[in-house]
Amino acid sequence: ALRTLRSFKLWLRYSDGAEGEVDLSDLAGRGVFKLWDDYSTFESARIGEHGEITWGDAWAVENRVI
């Protein structure tokens, strides 16, 4: 499960029951994360077909990276 929170944070819960918040604010506005300058893009985060976190068709981040 995934929920977007304020200030570029995600709440994640994995199938093993582990859950918590991830603060991605240090990435916002840098490199490919410049897409988040439009905050609605950040809020579009979803879990993809292979467990990765995706932001629409723009790009994805493997969950082991986060």
Percent of the chain residues past pLDDT 70, beyond the cut: 88
**pTM (2 decimals)?**
0.81
Question: Are the C-beta atoms of residues 9 and 24 closer than 8 Å to each other?
Answer: yes
Strand, helix or coil for residue 12: strand
Average pLDDT over residues 19-26: 96
pLDDT at 58 over 70: no
